[in-house]
Homo-oligomer: A and B are copies of this chain.
Amino acid sequence: MTTTLAELGERALVERLTRRLPAAGGTVVVGPGDDCAIVRLASDAVEDLVLTSDPVIEGVHVGPGDLPGAVGHKAVARALSDLAAMGAEPLWGLIDLVAPAATAMERVEAIYEGAQATAARYGLAIVGGDCARGTLLELHVFAVGRVPRGTAVLRSTAQAGEEIYVTGALGGSLAGRHLNFSPRLKEGVWLRAQGWATAMMDLSDGLGADLPRLCVASRVGASLRTEALPIAPEVFAHPDARDPLAHALHDGEDFELLFSVAAERRAAFEAAWRATFGLACSRIGSFTAAAAGVLIFSPDGTSAPLAGGYEHFKR
């Protein structure tokens, strides 16, 4: 009996593949499992590097009708969002491009221009890459960022009692946000540099899938308040059979930051955020003991376990 990737699902695949990789040690500070790997060139280095890679594939992450500039933007911005989630500053990127031989050069150039424009806007120097023939149009973006030694914000360091925050608003990605989102780089760097965030990740598969992952990594539970969740206006502008809350939890590709702040610093943090950013930042719940699980509470006091989100391969 063979098992297909469709039966296994992306997360289980990543876990099966990476569990045989060497753990931290030598120049590797944090191996697979966080938004980026963290590496250190020398034992006395003053900075750590963070490394990430992200694929964007036509038919999966983007459609053949999507504007080429937006496709290029998305490919680079996804990798930048991973850097943001560590509180890292962008340094260098490489782009592998795959395309069918019949692809129009003009479309490829426009995609590349979109990628390059977004990279330049956020300070990521595209220093190379490769091109190859395939059956789908694809971009694979590899990015390197930096943080002062030992300061990268992990997803495994949240503690019970801490407040849970999310930047921006959630849901409605397919109404266009997945193509034009802004990676939260300056916010991520600020949350790390000012010492506010005790744990952080970016939301790529939806809060409903990503928050449980952060909880597993940090060995905590969580309790969310439905009325506190910031729902994107796109969700209300394109009403359908699904509850707006379900969109906010499960649409995926929000690329907002999910992070924790010590409860006693709540007021100071919220004041500092408002003084610094125009972007919304919502306190959506708090971390609890692991045994409590990951629950979402309605205003009437009823609760339900949180689960779901987008997963590759799975049908």
Q: Are A112 and B55 in contact (CB under 8 A)?
A: no
Tell me if A142 is interfacial: C-beta within 8 Å of chain B: yes
Residue of B nearest to A146 (CB): B41
Binary flags per residue of A171-201, CB closer than 8 Å to B gives 1, else 0: 0000000000000000000000000000000
How many A residues are at the interface, by size bracket? 35 or more
Q: Are A105 and B2 in contact (CB under 8 A)?
A: yes
Nearest-Cβ distance from residue A14 to partner chain B, whole angstroms: 5
Q: Are B4 and A313 in contact (CB under 8 A)?
A: no
Q: How far is it, in angstroms, between the C-alpha of A74 and the C-alpha of B274 when the chains are bound?
A: 52
The number of times this chain is found in the oligomer is: 2
Q: How far is it, in angstroms, between the C-alpha of A26 and the C-alpha of B28 when the chains are bound?
A: 26
Q: Are A53 and B18 in contact (CB under 8 A)?
A: no
Please, which residues of chain B bring their CB within 8 A of the CB of A98?
A: 55, 57, 138
Q: Are B3 and A127 in contact (CB under 8 A)?
A: no
In A127-153, the 8 Å CB interface with B consists of: 127-136, 138, 140, 142, 144, 146
Please, which residues of chain B bring their CB within 8 A of the CB of A52?
A: 94, 128
Please, which residues of chain B bring their CB within 8 A of the CB of A20?
A: 112-113, 116
Residue of B nearest to A4 (CB): B102
Tell me if A315 is interfacial: C-beta within 8 Å of chain B: yes
Please, which residues of chain B bring their CB within 8 A of the CB of A53?
A: 94-96, 128-130, 140, 142
Tell me if A234 is interfacial: C-beta within 8 Å of chain B: no
Please, which residues of chain B bring their CB within 8 A of the CB of A6?
A: 101-102
Q: Are A57 and B27 in contact (CB under 8 A)?
A: no
Nearest-Cβ distance from residue A144 to partner chain B, whole angstroms: 7
Please, which residues of chain B bring their CB within 8 A of the CB of A41?
A: 41, 47, 49, 91, 146
In the A-B complex, the 9 residue pairs with the smallest Cβ-Cβ separation, listed nearest first, are A37-B127, A6-B101, A142-B142, A2-B104, A3-B105, A37-B128, A140-B140, A53-B94, A55-B132
What are some 26 contacts across the A-B interface (CB < 8 A)? A2-B104, A5-B103, A6-B102, A7-B105, A8-B105, A10-B133, A17-B112, A20-B112, A20-B113, A27-B125, A32-B127, A41-B47, A41-B146, A53-B94, A53-B95, A53-B96, A53-B129, A54-B130, A55-B130, A55-B132, A55-B140, A60-B133, A99-B313, A132-B312, A134-B136, A142-B142
Give A residues with C-beta under 8 Å from B.
2-8, 10, 13-14, 16-18, 20-22, 26-28, 31-33, 36-37, 39, 41-42, 47, 49, 51-55, 57, 59-61, 91-92, 94-106, 108-109, 112-113, 116, 120, 125-136, 138, 140, 142, 144, 146, 312-313, 315
